[in-house]
Structures are given as structure tokens and as C-alpha cells.
Structure 1
Amino acid sequence: MVGKSVRTVLAGVVLAGLVAGCDLAPKNDAGSADPSVTAASPTVDVAANSKQVCETTLAVVKKHFVAMADDAIAAIDKPVSAKEQGEKVRGHYTALAQDLRKEAPTAVDPQLRTALENLATAVEKRLTGPKATEVEAPDLDPTLKALDSTCGR
């Protein structure tokens, strides 16, 4: 049980590390702004909005993955049943998907909005599969990396 908990903690830390590396600088340099984005929202600073949405999203993702890692670490000292551990993981993934869905409409940049929606969809898909109660989530890597890239990394 301890070996599985340590592996679970490591997986959570790796996922949190992946997202924690997100550089929140705007992805467009001064001369390469996407005219379709800026034309659609002339009164909104797209770069500032994207930076804020990326910061908020990073905090949300970190919060849920760190909570999963904290649960796994706590289970080392005070073991819980596999069912209870699975319910906690499922709860964190459910809350993550809900938080992403809530944040997506705040993104002015359609690419960022799509990246958030795609990650939420990937998390929701995970919740319907056989690995819904596992912290290790390599299936989320492509959508996490896409969000990371959209946020300017």
C-alpha cells in the first residue's frame, strides 16, 4: 500500500510540476498580434486577459493536483480504503472539470478558451473511463501541454 501511495504522490507531483512550469507571459510578441482576435475585442486587452486567465487556471489546476498528492501522502500515515481514495480522486477531477468550464468563458482569446474547454472535456472523459479513480493521468498530458503552450510556454 505504501509503494502505491508513493507512486501516486509522485504522479501528482509530476502533473503539478508540468502545469507549474507554465510561463504566463503573453504568447504574441509586439509585432505578431493576431488581428482577428484584437479586432473582435477592441476594448479588451487580450494579452492581459490571457495572462489573468492563465494565472487563474494554473492556480485551479495546481490546487486540485496538489490536493490529490496531499490525500495520497495523508493515506501513508492513515490508510484509507481503495474505495475512499478513489472517491477523493474522482471528486478532485470532477471539481477540476467544473472549475475549467467556469473559467473558459472568461477567456477572450478563442485559442485559450478552446484549450480550457479541451482540458475540461479530457477530464470529463477520464471520469467516464476505468481509470477515473487514479491520480496518474498520462491521458491528460496532451491537453495540459496544449494549455501550457497556449499560455505562452
Structure 2
Amino acid sequence: MRLFIMILVSAIIVIAIYLLIHRTMINRATLMLRRQAQAATDAAMAYALKQNLLQLPSMPESQLVADVWGKGVLAFEYTLKAKKVTELKEKDVEMALNAYAKEKHLDHLPAAAKTFVVTDWWTYEQMLHIDVAYIYNEATREYVMDLHKLNQNN
């Protein structure tokens, strides 16, 4: 009986260690993918703002859109001073983002029509907020599709 309990406890410990290592590796891979996508999106956004003749003292830093949409969603938010961006148009920014992606041969999901999608655009407290999704994986494509469904219902 003692031997059985020792084997059972050992098996539970081995499974727990395996799951911990597996989870750590998955999280690390997700973090690396997110950082690469964020760097590519930041470069594309800098290009898009420059193409739209918007001269900023420095490129705004992006923030990951909330994780409530799920792990692996590659969507980033940019915040710009609204006084400087009154002439900026959503469609122009999206076109410039995708022109950059084409020029730099950025990878994207084959099922996606575009590499980048401006998913949200709003002004709050004199700041323009722009959400940009990099359609690199299925989770991001589904996120964009869900947002389109939400917008159609409202």
C-alpha cells in the first residue's frame, strides 16, 4: 500500500512539474510573438503617421489592447494629442499601414485580406486613441471579426 501511495504522489509531482514547464514555455513563446508583432506594428504606425504628414516629436508608444479578448490577440493602442491630429483620417492611416506591410513583406495570415486593420478610433480628453490589429494569427483574425459583428449590431 505504501508503495502505491509513493508512486501516486510521485506521478502527481511529475505531472505538476510537466504542466508548469509547459505553461512557462507557452507563455514565453506568446510573449516573444507579441513583442515581435508590437515592434512591426510600431514601425508601420510610424510610417503611416509620416505618410499622413503628421510630424510628432516622438512616436507614441503602443499598449496591448486588453487581454479580455484572449491570449494571442495582437492588437495595440496608440494615443496621440488630438490637437495635432485633426486632419488625420482612419482610412488613410489603415491604407498607409498596409502599404508599409506590403513594402516590407510582413507576414500575415493568408486568410486575411489585410495585414493591419484599424479596429477602433476615438477621442477622449483631448487625446486620439487608435487601435491597430496585426492579423498575424487566427486569434487576432477572430478578434477583428468579432469587433465587426459588434459594430454591425450597434
Query: Structures share a fold, TM > 0.5?
Result: no
Higher relative contact order (CA 8 A, sep 6+): 1
Structure label with greater radius of gyration: 2
**TM, length-normalised to structure 1:** 0.31
**TM, length-normalised to structure 2:** 0.31
